[in-house]
Every structure is written in C-alpha cells, then in structure tokens.
C-alpha cells in the first residue's frame, strides 16, 4: 500500500517536456528499453559504435535538482557554463523497482522551482568527463516542483480585518508561513521605470503597490534608453539608466544602489521584483554595433537580405526625393494617391536597381563559358537529332548552384562540362537558359508584386485606417535597415556588390506569422516582401550558432549572458519581452546562465501564440512559469470564463474533486498557466471604463498569477505611451480614509488580498461559467469543501432586462464584499498636474459589511433536498461584482439517501441544467460512437446479449428503455434489465461518461448522487429505479432543450419538437473536429459544427460539409431559434471563402475543398433567411471577417458584406481554377479534368453556368469507384451547365439583396463586371426572371415549343421543368428529377407568374417521384433508374459501389422542399385541407422518427421506403427540410 504520491516519468518519451509535481512527491524515472532508446537517439554518431552500444553503453540520468538540505552551486557542467551543478542519479537494482524496470531511479521532490534533467550516453568515458561536456545528450526535460513565490508570506498583505479567508487548518498555516505563498497567489503591478522618477523616490511607489495588495512589482527595463526614449529600446545591456540618479555615479555604484532599493522592496514592502529582459533587439544607437555589426542581421551575416536592402534603400531615396520636391508636390489625400505613388516608384526607380539580377542566371557569361569549352571540341555527341524537352531542362537545372554571398547573378552553372554533355549546341544552351531564366523572372515579378502590395497596404493603414497613425499627407515609408556605412542612401551603389556597405535590419513583427519561425531567416522573404511592421528605433539581434561544448561562446551570446546574469542578481524574475523572437537554443543558454545565480528565477514569457504545443515546447526547453494573458481582450462573459478556465488549476467538480491517488501515476506535463493581467502597460485603457471593476474582480479569481497597471487601478483616461510619456506617477498618502483613495484602488486591495489568500488557504480548484450576462467564478477548497464565489456583471455586451438567477452549490454563509462602478468621469481628473499622471473621478461604491440572510443585494432560495440554492441579485447594475463564500449543508448524508428528492430536481429543468447551452445538451443526450471516441475515447455502452447503444448519451439508454416500457407486456427479461440485476456497470458508465464533459459537471454530480443512492437499494429494485432516473433525466433534458428554442418549436406538436431535437443531435462542439481549427481562427474555433449525418459523417474531415450545412441551417437553426450558432457557422464559412466559393468540405479550415458549385448558393440562401428571421439579422452584414485565404491586398479583415460582394463579383466575372492539391491525395477517384472548376455568367439570361462532364458540382455528386464495373472516375450525375436549383438560389440571393439595398440594409447595389460594367442586383434578378420560364419549362403541349428553348428530340416528359440547362450531356437537361421542387421552394417568385404550369409540374413530381419517406432521384421510366443503393462491388456499371446513389434511391431532404413547394404553390380549398394533406404525407416520417433508435430521419431509403443500410440512419438535412416545410405550413396557417 502506497502512502505517498509517486509520479512516473518515462525516459523514452520525455524529451522536450515540462513536468509538474507537487511538493513532497516521490518521482520514479523509468527506461524499459535502453538499447533501442540509445540507438534511436544516437544512430550515426561517430563517437559510438553499434557494438559498443549493445555491449558497454548505458544512459546516465543527470539533474541539477538538489534536495532542500543541499546547496545549489555553480559549475561549468554539461556544456552549460555557470549552470547549476548537475549530478548523476543512481540507478536502482534492476528488477527491484517499478514494474521490474531495468533502469529505474528515484527522487524525492521537496525543493520548489524549475529543474533540468538530461539523459546522457556515457561514450565510454567516466562520469566526470560527462560533466565537462564530452557526453551525448540524448534527451532533456524540465521538472517543475510546486510554484512558490520567493519571500512572499502571510505578512505580505495589507491588514484587512477580519481576514477574508482564514486557513482552515494549522497545517495549512504552517505550510504557508514556512514555504511562502504559492506562485498562483502572486499579484503583480507593472511600473514603467521612466515614470517612477529618480531612484530615491521609488519607495513611495512601493508603498502604493503594497497598499493595494500587490505582492510583486514588474519593472520595464532599467538600462539606458536609446534615442527614441522608448522603455523597450535599450542601448547598453550592461548599464543602468543614469537618469535614475540625482548625481553622476559609476556603473558599479549604480548597480549597488539599485540592488539596495530592490532589497528594500523585498524586505520592507514584501514585494517580489520582476523585470523585463530584452533579448531580441537593441537600440539602433547602441555603441557596440559598430564593433560587432554581425550581432545584427547585416549584409555580411545575413546576405539573403541584400535584395531587401537594395529595395529598401531605393525606397529611402524615393522618399527623400519626394520630400525634396524632385517629383513636384506629392500628397496622399485619397487611396488613389497611393497607387500613383507606387506606380511612380515602379516606373522610375525599380528599373534602375536591376533587382532581377539577384534572381537570374547571367546568360551572357554562362553562354561564353559554354562556348569556350564547346569550341575545344573535346565532346562528341551522337548524330541523332535532339530536341529540348522537360528532361533537358531538369538536367541543366540540376547543375545550378547558388553563391553563398547572395549577390547579383548568385545563381550559376556549376559544371559546364556536364552541361555540354546535355546540350548539343550553343544555341540550344542559350534556349535552355532562357527557359530556365523565365521561371526566375517570374519569381522576381511575384516578389515585387507582393512587396508593392504590402507597401500599398501599409500606406493605406497609416493614412486611412481608423486605427492607423494618420500621418500627414506626406508619404512616410518605413525604413527596414539602418545604414551605418555609408550613412547616406545616395552614397550606396545599389547595382554594385555592396561589399563595403554596413547596414542592419530593424526589428519588428509580422502579422499572423508563426512565432516559432524567424521572419529574418534565410528561407523567409518578409523583409523583401515588406511584411515586417518595423520598430525603426531597434536593431534585430542575430545570435547565430553556438555549440555548447565550445569553450567560448560567440560575442553576442556572452554579452547577453552577462546581461541576464546581472538582472538575475538584482531581480527575482524575468518577463521575457518578445520571447517568440528569440531562438529556443539561445533562450536555453541564457536562462541557464541566469538561473546559475538565482535558481528559483521566475520566468514569464510574452508569446504571440495560442498553441498549447508551442507553450509546452518553451516549458520543456527553458522552464517557464507562465504566458502573458490580458483580461481586457476577454471582457465578454463567455470569453472571460474561458480565459480563467484555461489559466486556472484543477477543474472544480460540484462538491470538490478527490485528491490525487497515492501510488504510481504518470507525471503530468506542466500546464503552462496564463498570467492574467487586467491590462498590460503597452495597451490603451479598458473600454468601457465602467467595466474595470468587474474585469478586475473576475481576474482576481484566476488560479494563476494576476497583474495590472497603475493606470488601470487609478482609472487613467489616457494611454501611458512607453515611448513618448514624460509625466510621472502620482504619490498618495495611503494612511488617509479609503474614501480618499484614487480610482478603484480600494477594490483592488481586496481583490489582491483575496487572490493571495485563496492560494495560501488551499482553494486550488476553480470553475468558470457564464449565466446570461453574468460571469460566475468559483474557487473551491477540496479539503474543507468550502467555495468562494465571484459573480460579475460586465458592462459590455448589452444590458439584460432581468438578471438570471444563479445556482450556487452549497450554503452561502458569508458575503465578503459588493462593489459597483457605474460611471467614470473622464473629464474630471482626481488631481490636475502637467507633470504627474492622475486618474479620473468615478462613481464607485464598495460595501464590505453585507449581512446574511437579509440584505439589499441578494435573495437566496434553497432547493429542498439539494446541495444547492438559487441566488437572485438586486441593485446590481453593469460594472458590479459580488463575492461570497459557501459550504456544503450539514445534512449531506441525509440528502444523498433521499432518491425521491433528487429525482424531483428533474421537475425544474431550468435549475438542473442552469447555464447549459444546447451544445452541452448535445453532449448530455447524444454523441454517437465515433463522436464519443474522438472526444473522450469512451465509446458506447455494450449490453451483453444485446449490443452497443446507438448513442453514448442519455438518448442511448432511453431508446432501449422505451423499447422495454412500450412493449406489452413489458419484457422483464430484457438484456439491459438482466445486466442491471447483475452489477452496477450501467450506473457507473452513466456517471463516468458525464464526468468526461466539463460543462456537464453539475449534471454528473446529480447523476452520481442518484446512482450512488440507487446502489444502496436491494439488487432487484435497481433496474426499476435506474430506468426511472434515466427517464426523469431524459424528460427534464428534453423539456429544457425545447425551452431554449423558438416559440414556434415550444408551441408546436411533438413531431416538430422531435425534428427540432435533431438540431441538438447533429450540432455540437467537438474538440476533435472543430468547425475551424483554433490554430487557424481562434475566435470561432468553439463555434458548433453540424454533422451532415450520423454516424458516417460525424467526425474528421467528413463532418463539415458546406452544402449539407446550409441546406440544414434554415430548418435546424433558424426555425429553432438558434441564431447565434447559425451566425457563427455563417461567419466561419465566410472566412473560408476562396475563389468566390465556400468550401464543400471545410475540414476545420485545414484542407478545405472547393469542388462544389451549389454550396455557395445554399450558403447565401441561408444568409438571406438569417437576415429576415434573426433578431437584428441584417447587422450580420457588418460583422468582421478574418479571412483564411485573403483575396486581394485588403481582404484579410473585412466585413461579411465584402465577402458576399466577392462571391457575387467572382461569379459574375467568371471563376476558373484547378483545385489545389489536385490528384489522388484529395480525391482518389476523380479524373484529372474533374479538378478543373469553371463557372461563368451568361449575360443574356443572368444564369450561372459551370462544371464539366468529369466532375459533379451539385448535391448529386456520386463519383464511380469500381474498377471491376469500369465506372471508376466517372461522375454518375455531372449536372454541368445551369442546374435549376442553383439558378433558383441565385435568383433568391440577388433579388433579396436588391430589396435589402433598397431599404438601406445592404451596402451595395450590385456588382462590377470587368472594370466598368455595373450589374445591379435588381437588374440581375429581373434578367433571370425574364428568362427562367422560357429556358427551363417544357410545355405540356408541343405546339407551344416555339415559345421555349426546347430540343424536341430530347423531350421525355412534358409539363415539367428541366433539371439543367446546356449540360454537356444534352439529354440530361430533360431528365425528371426532384430538383425542380427544390427550386420552387427556395425561389417561389420565379414560379408564381406561371401558377398553372407550376402546379401541374408538382402533380407530376407527386405522382412519379414521391415515395413513402423520400423523393425518387430519377424518373422511374428513365433508362438509368436504379432504385436500390448498396456499396457492393459488382460488375454492374450502373450500381456497383453505389454508382446509382442519385439515380433512383429516395432521398428525404428534397421531400421537405416538395412539401414546402406544395404549401407555397398548390391551391388548396382551405388551410385545413393543406395541413391535412401535408401531415398525411408526413405520417411515415412521424412513425419513423418515433421508432428509430437514432430518433431521427435517415439520409435516404431504397425502393418504396425500404431501409438503405448503406446510408446514414440520422441525416441533418432530412430533418431540417421537413422542419422548414412545417414552419412554412404553420406560418401559412
């Protein structure tokens, strides 16, 4: 029996990982397969032979961890000069340790901090030589032991009486006072050094920080500032800003004075000092750059930048000449001026610098070399004729090498003798070089185009963007390089070899770039393409390579090592500014140096990344404690709760989580926490300012380090600019009454003290959620079972008419405080001073004397028989926060014994499921096998002698229970009941599965209480009460789900509600298959995605189909009132528009596929419906869109209206492209021609045409798959030309937009064709309307053919509408298919002018195509009709491998549109007749959905409604279109 926690580290898989363990934990390091491990890591290493590897070598595990009672000394061990001493851990006796592991080492972790471990191969040398660097490091990882902030104890806090939280046990108090406060309890105030004044005045500011409850202060760099005076532009890393001192002092004296001051901060004010370190750049006026220019990206150290330098210098000359008036008066007043400016540069300056010479071969010189050697006639060629082919080009291209100097004509032929063997003549060689150079010229053209586009965008931003700097009319072109020698750009010979030029690249950043990749690296063109947003006062540092085994590091490495070492001597922690811009190996080296003088150094990283993998890489490489996060970017309730959950510790269960088990368990990777700041010092004030208090209250509940700024706390109405600000911070008398304190500093004192005491007192678990406009945050103590709750009401996102009630687990027994900030008077300064910064006056109240149970802020209502109570807030306006404590009721055991009371909670589903949205209900009720396994690896429950449940959620149980309870007599011997009589497996499965979902923890808690209580019952009663409990939960869940939907659904019959529930079934937030990857579009990555069908289209790239989604959106999302989800899906797909098309397969935005012609029109149709059905639906047009594939220079961020215009303009002007990645990797069955997408507008009719006979761009998209039947790669139904439903969708779109524009709801009146011709939406829709009937209708009487566009020889049915127009397979136009009914449904106005013809066509469809559940997809009289679909591989061309997918099988989604067409076009005698007819037709569907174990409608059926086992039993659009038809029917009623 283990009495301690043992954490196991597998040395075979630990490389680059950061692990975390609590203090006083035993660690076991295991290596089961040492030989394979060694051979895998050191194969090919010259030091080690295979024989030696197998016979003599074994790994040695080194660590710089030392127990508490051991000293941490400095040494030059293991290739890290001045790193902490490494020691080898002793391997235990083989077989004696954990699982008889051959290599097993133990360690007890009792010293807090970050520690490094390295697995090293002995290389046949003794261990002392290993310590000197002669060993081979096979892997390295970090161990993080218990975060503790140094010198931070209970006495660090302001005196608040009584304490907000008293430690519950003496052991907690003892641990806190002896070990300090956990790091998660630290709160940091940022101080801009230039605003502190001279060093002697700093204690006043320490007093401010301490008075406000801060336990740490973060300083901007203390080094001398550069020419710009920016706080983040230092010119001497080894100096200290002399302006901090009243009298001149030596460098050594300045260092000592700062050290004394920081000691004062620690000892007198109990503040932990942190500092910014700048490792990625230095000031442009740094003196040592003259001696060490290669420490930057110079033309010598980074010759690949020469092209960029030449272009930049030419732009400097251009700018100078403009300023000097060489080109007359040039101003930028309108965007066209920018185009003119760039055109001037391209025409007058670009040719002079001959930049193309950096790309191409010097053809003249190469031909001369070839000719000289060729004339010697040493080479004999066969007399046969020789033509230049691809092989010749490839062979000569293989001889091209690139000179490392990256100068002009850097490409050249390396071996002319080989070239002569390939080319027979000088003329042929010239032609080959010409063809090869063509590609290089194209590369040049592409680079220049990109550079000019980015320059255009930058100038447009600077001069016209609302968020830009708005320069004067004079064009300001950023300088990318500092010219050091010569100093004038006009003294540089831009067409020379640049050998004497010294120029250094400025530092900056690149929008949306991968932070782990150096944008100045040799394989990047960011400087050439003008993509870098440069800081012209800085120089980007270039570290180069360094072998840690070398005795002396390069100059820059050594210089910066001295810098960080000095800072580590002074400060307790670093904030690494622009951490992502510093190579990992450099960070590893420098942080090791810093930790050699301060082993417990705290590291905060500024990483511009949202990738957990990137965070883990930095943790495993350098050992960082946190990533900077900023609360002001997460002010909305959902965002704030998500931020704090991400940044917090363990997730809170309803009544607390059990402690970690004793005994061996895998060590957990260190969860890199976000250090959550209210606001960071380099950002403008929070807007609205009244949200400051609510924001700060939420942030203080984070189970991680928190922070803020003076400006935030004191309500500065201005941005404290780190470059230009000259004023100083104010000094206050903190002994005055708290009513005299500035801003919200009184509240911040309480917030910071609370944050600290939560960590000290063991409130280690947290839960964050939002209830309507409220953010609910809970910190929970798993030992005492007490919780601290913070509820905030942010003053963003609108004001609620009535605040929702909040369910609180446990008994509220104390209110700590209530605060409100209702107004900030930006024009009324706290004090007025030109040299000192003061905040604003405000309307702020903070009540710390709130009594229970009666007070003016809340009403508590206990829930009988429950752990919970409900909280109703009063006098709680936006900008408020309330904090209170709760504990479990004393009669918990009694409550658990009352199963009836627990089940009664199901009578109030709004309470049981409080705060859950419909995607949470999806997790509760549904999830098929594939979804569940992808999300939780759990899978469905398997009932012995019965099989697996259809769903893993409650619906899975209910389908089985219903089959038992609805049978008469009931089947008491059913396998489920037998299983329940034998054991508790179904009970445990139910609770365990719910616990897999963090948003269902409240329901899981309820389930656990119920199931645990059921287990106490006699065995024979368990089946009965299990079924009762599941039924009660299911009923409550369904009631709650329906209550969250539209009034139409709530008031409709059960069949409508059953269809509506399918929206919950197929719409979910799957982490495994997000709608869009968080790496690509974080803002929308949690938007729900719609599964096209279950189970086949439920996960992976096959889940999100654009066509299926937007055919389904009107019914499943708009009719049901799920407008937010519909909006998010619309915006996500809009962000992925490319080529003027939405993707048919979204694939989370990773590899979307644009092979559908109709998905875009279904998207636009859904959007039109959204605008008319959703509240304030038209506002969606102005929603910002972040493009995955920007089209044009300014389309990265645009509005939805812009995207719509792009789609329509693209179609109007023609779309022509070949699919990216065309080939078997994206479609193994399609022929090469099928990857070509062509779409064009017929200007005479307004119709859109597209496709070809090799692809199938509509919903009838089956591609042959059978080699055996020889249909492989042949589309069964190409439907190229103009498909009728696409034209109907087109008409609907342009006519709606014309209407919307007319009433001012849509900004554009039409599109531009070419460069001049305008096509208004009104004209476009009129053109379609005028031509549609004549081109598509096939008249009943042949005598009327003259009035229509008809080929009589192809007519098979009359009185119908063509399926397509101008298909390459001409007879296919005249096939009878259900698509005409779809067209009648989506664009009824196209048909109403011809009501008799339309109605007759519906009668034909009804008689020939309508089946019991679906619509036949082809006329039964058609020669190609094959009604039964299977995936059997036979020799039948027409059916093998499902080739007849759309050639007769009966699909359900068109049936819904047929019903809607009946509602819209059929003339019934009365409304009751219409409803009777429609519902009669729906009778089989009602029966199907009620009996189906999937509680849904299938994708399709075979002949006459027979089951199709190859299709999906639950299909989104099947239910959606029925629901849409019913909505139309009831609306007509």
Residues marked active site are found at 577, 580, 682
Neighbours of 10 (CB within 10 A): 15
Q: Find, among 167, 277, 159, the residue nearest to 220 by Cα.
A: 277
Residue 1255 to residue 4: CA distance in whole angstroms? 65
By the 10 Å C-beta count (0-12 exposed, 13-18 middle, 19+ buried), 99 is classed as: exposed
- Is the Cβ–Cβ distance between 1144 and 1153 less than 8 Å? yes
Task: Name every residue whose Cβ is closer than 8 Å to that of residue 1380 and which is 6 or more positions away in sequence.
Answer: 1284, 1360, 1361, 1363, 1401, 1405
One-character DSSP codes across 1086-1149: TS-EE-SEETTBSSGGGS-BHHHHHHHHIIIIITTT-HHHHHHHHHHHHHT-BTTB--SB-GGG
Backbone angles phi, psi at 768, to 5 degrees: -125, 140
Residue 1483 to residue 1480: CA distance in whole angstroms? 5
Residue 696 to residue 750: CA distance in whole angstroms? 11
Query: Three-state SS for 854?
Result: coil
Residue 560 to residue 555: CA distance in whole angstroms? 9
Residue 699 to residue 744: CA distance in whole angstroms? 14
Residue 399 to residue 423: CA distance in whole angstroms? 12
Half-sphere exposure of 633 (CA within 13 A, CB side): 10
Cα dihedral 848/852/856/862 (nearest 10) = 130
The gap between the terminal CA atoms of the chain, to the nearest Å, is: 72
Residue 281 to residue 284: CA distance in whole angstroms? 9
- 442 preceded by cis ω (within 30°)? no
> DSSP secondary-structure letter at 277?
E
How far from chain centre, in Å, is Cα 1275? 37
Residue 1523 to residue 1531: CA distance in whole angstroms? 12
Cα dihedral 949/950/956/959 (nearest 10) = -100
Backbone angles phi, psi at 853, to 5 degrees: -90, -10
By the 10 Å C-beta count (0-12 exposed, 13-18 middle, 19+ buried), 832 is classed as: exposed
Strand segments, DSSP code E, in 134-198 are 136-145, 187-191
By the 10 Å C-beta count (0-12 exposed, 13-18 middle, 19+ buried), 210 is classed as: buried
By the 10 Å C-beta count (0-12 exposed, 13-18 middle, 19+ buried), 173 is classed as: middle
Residue 1183 to residue 1170: CA distance in whole angstroms? 13
Helices 1054-1066 and 1022-1043 pack at an angle, to 10 degrees, of: 90
Helices (H), 1482-1515: 1483-1491
Residue 762 sits at the vertex; the CA angle it makes with 756 and 763, to the nearest 5 degrees, is 80
> DSSP secondary-structure letter at 303?
G
Q: What Rg, from alpha-carbon coordinates, does the chain have?
A: 36
Q: Find, among 1378, 1440, 1366, the residue nearest to 1409 by Cα.
A: 1378
- Is the Cβ–Cβ distance between 786 and 168 less than 8 Å? yes
> DSSP secondary-structure letter at 225?
B
């Amino acid at each position: 029996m283990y009495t301690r926690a043992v954490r196991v580290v597998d040395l075979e898989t630990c490389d680059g990982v950061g692990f975390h363990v609590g203090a006083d934990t035993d660690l076991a390091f295991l290596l089961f397969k040492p030989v394979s491990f060694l051979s895998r890591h050191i194969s090919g290493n010259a030091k080690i032979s295979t024989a030696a590897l197998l016979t003599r070598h074994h790994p040695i595990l080194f660590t710089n961890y030392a127990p508490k009672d051991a000293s941490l000394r400095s040494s030059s061990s293991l290739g890290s000069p001045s790193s902490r001493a490494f020691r080898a851990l002793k391997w235990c006796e083989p077989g004696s340790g954990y699982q008889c592991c051959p290599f097993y080492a133990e360690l007890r972790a009792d010293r807090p901090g970050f520690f490094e471990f390295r697995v090293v191969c002995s290389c046949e040398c003794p261990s002392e030589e290993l310590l000197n660097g002669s060993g081979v490091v096979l892997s390295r990882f970090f161990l993080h032991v218990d975060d503790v902030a140094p010198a931070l104890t209970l006495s660090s806090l302001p005196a608040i009486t009584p304490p907000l939280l008293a430690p519950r046990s003496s052991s907690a108090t003892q641990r806190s006072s002896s070990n300090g406060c956990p790091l998660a309890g630290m709160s940091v105030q940022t101080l801009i050094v230039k605003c502190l004044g001279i060093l002697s005045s700093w204690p006043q500011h320490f007093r401010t920080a301490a008075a406000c409850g801060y336990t740490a202060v973060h300083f901007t760099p203390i080094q001398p500032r550069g020419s710009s005076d920016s706080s983040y532009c230092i010119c001497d890393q080894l100096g200290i800003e002399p302006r901090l001192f009243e009298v001149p002092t030596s460098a050594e004296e300045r260092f000592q004075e700062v050290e004394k001051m920081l000691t004062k901060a620690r000892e007198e004010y109990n503040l932990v000092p942190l500092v910014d370190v700048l490792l990625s750049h230095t000031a442009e006026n740094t003196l040592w750059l003259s001696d060490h220019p290669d420490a930057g990206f110079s033309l010598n150290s980074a010759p690949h930048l020469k092209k960029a330098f030449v272009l930049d210098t030419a732009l400097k000359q251009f700018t100078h000449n403009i300023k000097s008036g060489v080109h007359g008066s040039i101003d930028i007043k309108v965007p066209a001026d920018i185009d003119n400016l760039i055109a001037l540069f391209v025409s007058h300056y670009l040719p002079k610098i001959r930049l193309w010479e950096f790309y191409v071969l010097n053809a003249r010189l190469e031909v001369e070399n070839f000719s000289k050697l060729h004339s010697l006639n040493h080479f004999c060629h066969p007399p046969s004729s020789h033509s230049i082919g691809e092989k010749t080009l490839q062979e000569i291209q293989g001889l091209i090498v690139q000179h490392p100097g990256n100068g002009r004509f850097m490409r050249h032929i390396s071996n002319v003798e080989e070239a002569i063997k390939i080319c027979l003549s000088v003329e042929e060689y010239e032609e080959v070089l010409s063809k090869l150079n063509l590609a290089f010229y194209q590369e040049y053209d592409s680079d220049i185009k990109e550079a000019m586009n980015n320059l255009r965008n930058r100038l447009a931003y600077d001069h016209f963007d609302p968020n830009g700097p708005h320069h004067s009319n004079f064009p300001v072109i950023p300088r990318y390089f500092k010219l050091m020698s010569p100093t004038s750009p006009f003294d540089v010979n831009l067409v020379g070899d640049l050998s004497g030029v010294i120029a250094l690249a400025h530092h900056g950043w690149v929008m949306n770039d991968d932070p782990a990749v150096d944008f100045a690296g040799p394989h990047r063109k960011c400087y050439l393409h003008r993509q870098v947003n440069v800081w012209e006062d800085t120089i980007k540092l270039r570290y180069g390579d360094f072998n840690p085994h070398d005795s002396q590091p390069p100059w820059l490495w050594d210089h910066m090592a001295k810098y960080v070492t000095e800072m580590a001597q002074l400060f307790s922690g670093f904030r690494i500014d622009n951490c992502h811009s510093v190579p990992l190996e450099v960070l590893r080296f420098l942080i090791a140096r810093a930790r050699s003088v301060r082993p417990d150094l705290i590291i905060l990283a500024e990483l511009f990344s949202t990738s957990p993998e990137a965070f883990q890489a930095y943790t495993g490489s350098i050992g960082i404690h946190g990533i900077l996060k900023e609360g002001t970017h997460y002010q909305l309730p959902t965002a704030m709760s998500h931020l704090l959950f991400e940044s917090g510790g363990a997730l809170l269960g309803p009544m607390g989580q059990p402690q970690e088990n004793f005994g061996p368990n895998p060590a957990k990777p260190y969860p890199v926490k976000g250090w959550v700041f209210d606001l960071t010092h380099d950002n403008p004030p929070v807007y609205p300012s009244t949200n400051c208090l609510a924001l700060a209250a939420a942030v203080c509940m984070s189970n991680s380090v928190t922070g803020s700024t003076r400006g935030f706390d004191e309500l500065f109405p201005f941005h404290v600019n780190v470059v230009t600000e000259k004023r100083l911070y104010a000094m206050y008398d903190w002994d005055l009454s708290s009513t005299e304190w500035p801003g919200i500093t009184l509240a911040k004192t309480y917030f910071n003290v609370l944050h600290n005491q939560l960590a000290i007192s063991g409130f280690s678990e947290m839960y964050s959620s939002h209830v309507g406009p409220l953010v609910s945050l809970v910190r929970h103590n798993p030992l005492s079972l007490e919780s601290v709750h913070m509820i905030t009401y942010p003053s963003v996102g609108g004001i609620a008419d009535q605040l929702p009630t909040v369910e609180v687990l446990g008994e509220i027994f104390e209110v700590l405080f209530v605060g409100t900030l209702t107004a900030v008077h930006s024009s009324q300064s706290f004090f007025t001073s030109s040299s000192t910064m003061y905040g604003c006056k405000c309307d702020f109240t903070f009540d710390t004397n709130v009594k229970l149970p009666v007070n003016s802020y809340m009403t508590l209502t206990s829930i009988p028989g429950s752990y919970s109570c409900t909280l109703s807030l009063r006098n709680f306006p936006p900008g408020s926060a309330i904090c209170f404590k709760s504990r479990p009721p004393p009669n918990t055991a009694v409550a658990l014994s009352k199963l009836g009371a627990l089940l009664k909670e199901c009578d109030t589903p709004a309470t049981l499921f409080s705060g859950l949205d419909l995607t949470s209900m999806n997790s509760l009720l549904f999830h098929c096998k594939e979804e569940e396994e992808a999300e939780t690896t759990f899978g469905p429950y398997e009932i012995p002698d019965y099989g697996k449940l259809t769903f893993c959620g409650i619906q899975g149980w209910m389908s089985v229970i219903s089959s038992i309870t609805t049978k008469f007599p009931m089947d008491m011997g059913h396998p489920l009941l037998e299983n329940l009589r034998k054991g508790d497996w179904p009970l445990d499965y139910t609770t365990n599965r719910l616990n897999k979902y963090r948003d269902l923890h409240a329901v899981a808690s309820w389930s656990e209480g119920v199931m645990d209580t059921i287990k106490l019952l006699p065995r024979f009663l368990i089946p009965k009460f299990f079924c009762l409990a599941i039924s009660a939960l299911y009923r409550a869940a369904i009631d709650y789900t329906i209550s969250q939907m539209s009034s139409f659904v709530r008031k409709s019959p059960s069949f409508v509600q059953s269809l509506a529930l399918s929206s919950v079934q197929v719409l979910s937030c799957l982490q495994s298959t997000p709608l869009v990857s968080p790496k690509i579009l974080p803002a929308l990555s949690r938007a729900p995605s719609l599964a096209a069908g279950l189970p086949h289209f439920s996960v992976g790239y096959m889940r999100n189909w654009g066509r299926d989604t937007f055919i389904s959106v009107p019914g499943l999302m708009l009719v049901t009132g799920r407008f937010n989800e519909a909006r998010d899906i619309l915006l996500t797909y809009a962000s992925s528009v490319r080529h003027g098309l939405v993707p048919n397969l979204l694939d989370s935005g990773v590899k979307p596929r644009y092979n559908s012609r109709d998905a875009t029109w279904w998207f636009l149709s859904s959007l039109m419906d959204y605008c008319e059905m959703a509240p304030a639906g038209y506002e969606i047009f102005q929603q910002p869109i972040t493009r995955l594939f920007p089209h044009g220079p300014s389309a990265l961020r645009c509005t939805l209206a812009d995207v719509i215009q792009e789609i329509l303009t693209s179609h109007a002007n023609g779309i022509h492209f070949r699919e990216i990645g065309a080939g078997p990797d994206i479609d193994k069955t399609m022929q090469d021609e099928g990857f070509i997408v062509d779409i064009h507008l017929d200007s005479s009719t307004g119709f859109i045409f597209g496709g070809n006979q090799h692809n199938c761009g509509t919903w009838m998209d089956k591609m042959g798959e059978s080699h055996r039947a020889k249909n492989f790669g042949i589309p069964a139904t190409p439907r190229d030309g103009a498909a009728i439903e696409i034209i109907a969708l087109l008409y609907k779109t342009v006519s709606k937009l014309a209407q919307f524009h007319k009433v001012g709801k849509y900004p554009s009146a039409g599109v531009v064709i070419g460069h001049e011709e305008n096509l208004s939406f009104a004209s476009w829709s009129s053109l379609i309307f005028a031509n549609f009937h004549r081109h598509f209708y096939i008249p009943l009487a042949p005598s009327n053919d003259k009035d229509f566009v008809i080929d009589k020889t192809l007519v098979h049915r009359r009185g119908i509408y063509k399926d397509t127009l101008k298909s390459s397979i001409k007879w296919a136009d005249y096939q009878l298919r259900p698509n005409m009914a779809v067209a009648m449904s989506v664009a009824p106005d196209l048909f109403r002018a011809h009501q008799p013809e339309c109605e007759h066509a519906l009668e034909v469809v009804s008689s020939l195509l309508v089946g019991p559940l679906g619509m036949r997809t082809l006329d039964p009289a058609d020669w190609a009709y094959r009604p039964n679909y299977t995936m059997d591989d036979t020799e039948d061309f027409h059916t093998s491998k499902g080739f007849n997918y759309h050639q007769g099988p009966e699909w359900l989604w068109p049936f819904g549109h047929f019903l809607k067409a009946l509602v819209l076009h059929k003339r019934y005698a009365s409304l009751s007749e219409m409803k009777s007819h429609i519902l009669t037709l729906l009778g089989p569907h009602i029966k199907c959905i009620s009996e189906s174990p999937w509680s849904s409608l299938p994708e399709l059926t075979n002949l006459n409604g027979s089951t199709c086992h190859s299709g999906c039993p639950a299909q989104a659009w099947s239910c959606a279109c029925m629901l849409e038809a019913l909505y139309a029917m009831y609306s007509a009623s």
